[in-house]
Amino acid sequence: MTRRGIGIALAAALALAAPAAAPAAVTAPEVVIGAHLYPKPFGLAYTYGQLRVPDGTPPAAVQGQTVALYASVFPFTAWTQVATLTTDFKGYFSYHSRIAQNTSYRAVWQGAAPVQSRDRLVTLPLRLRLHARRGSRGLVTFSGSAYPLHPGGRVLIQRMDSHGRFRNLAVTTLLSSSRFTRRVRVKGRAGVFRALFPGDPQFGIGASRPLRLRLR
């Protein structure tokens, strides 16, 4: 893709990420950033942004500028510089990275007077797998695993109700191996179940594929 094409693509991405209201006039130099996670491969994040200057400023003021990109993970108290980027002819920049947990980004325009963007958080969902084994007298043993490793994470075992909504059936905790198991007495002849991680500061919400199980 040409530099012009990259600039157009980034402009479209920032427009979609911005509120629908009319943009406010730029009164001072600023850095605007956005970020999202790609569906595949797992953990691939795309961070992008633009330098903006007050109306009447020569366009060349935002071209070829240096931007330092920083990242931080839970507990979000320490920041590490992960990239040094150069803007295109419209002040756009972008960066791809692999994340292993929720990651917050910020960009700093390295001008005569440095300008810092707002922080932008990218959440990484915890991936869950669920298995079930029927026992006697309505007992079902639910087991599974989570990726990446997240010992101590809370996992909800849920069952779909007659309206197609999942309701909590039991709660369990991820072991040091990031596996879980929970035995539950379940009523009825059949059901659809899933495991849900409700999210926390380190990982985003994640759910297993629904599992249909005949109980009798």
Per residue in 42-57, pLDDT (tens digit) is 999 999 999 999 887 8
Q: What is the pLDDT of residues 194-212, one digit of tens each?
A: 999 999 999 999 999 999 9
pLDDT surpasses 80 at 12: no
CA triple 200-79-33, angle to 5 deg: 80
Q: In the chain, what are the domains?
A: 3-122 (2.60.40.10), 127-214 (2.60.40.10)
- Report cis status (omega within 30 of 0) of the bond before 29: no
Strands 139-147 and 127-134: antiparallel
The mean of the pLDDT values for the chain is 89
**Banded model confidence at residue 11, pLDDT cuts 50, 70, 90:** low
State residue 215's pLDDT score: 75
pLDDT surpasses 70 at 179: yes
String of b and e for 158-195 (b: at least 16 CB within 10 Å)?
bbeeeeeebeebbebebeeebebebebebeeeebebbb
Do 184 and 213 contact (CB within 8 A), yes or no?
no
* Lowest-pLDDT choice from 63-72, 113-122, 182-191: 182-191
Report the pLDDT averaged over residues 7-25: 55
pLDDT surpasses 60 at 150: yes
Rounded to whole angstroms, the Cα distance separating 40 from 43 reads 8
Do 44 and 72 contact (CB within 8 A), yes or no?
no
Number of H helices, E strands in the chain: 1, 16
State residue 189's pLDDT score: 78
Nearest one of 113, 105, 108, 197 to 155, comparing CA atoms: 197
Report the pLDDT averaged over residues 178-187: 93
The Cα-based distances of 73 to 26, 86, 106, 195 in angstroms read 31, 24, 12, 25
Type of residue numbered 73:
V
Overall residue count recorded for the chain in this entry: 216
- Report cis status (omega within 30 of 0) of the bond before 41: yes
State residue 188's pLDDT score: 78
**Banded model confidence at residue 128, pLDDT cuts 50, 70, 90:** very high
* Lowest-pLDDT choice from 17-26, 54-63, 134-143, 167-176: 17-26
**Banded model confidence at residue 166, pLDDT cuts 50, 70, 90:** very high
**Banded model confidence at residue 64, pLDDT cuts 50, 70, 90:** very high
Q: What is the pLDDT of residues 71-118, one digit of tens each?
A: 999 999 999 999 999 999 999 999 999 999 999 999 999 987 899 999
pLDDT surpasses 80 at 25: no
pTM for the full model? 0.82
Nearest one of 48, 64, 65 to 13, comparing CA atoms: 48
Q: What's the DSSP call for residue 75?
A: T
Number of other residues whose CB lies within 10 A of the CB of residue 38: 11
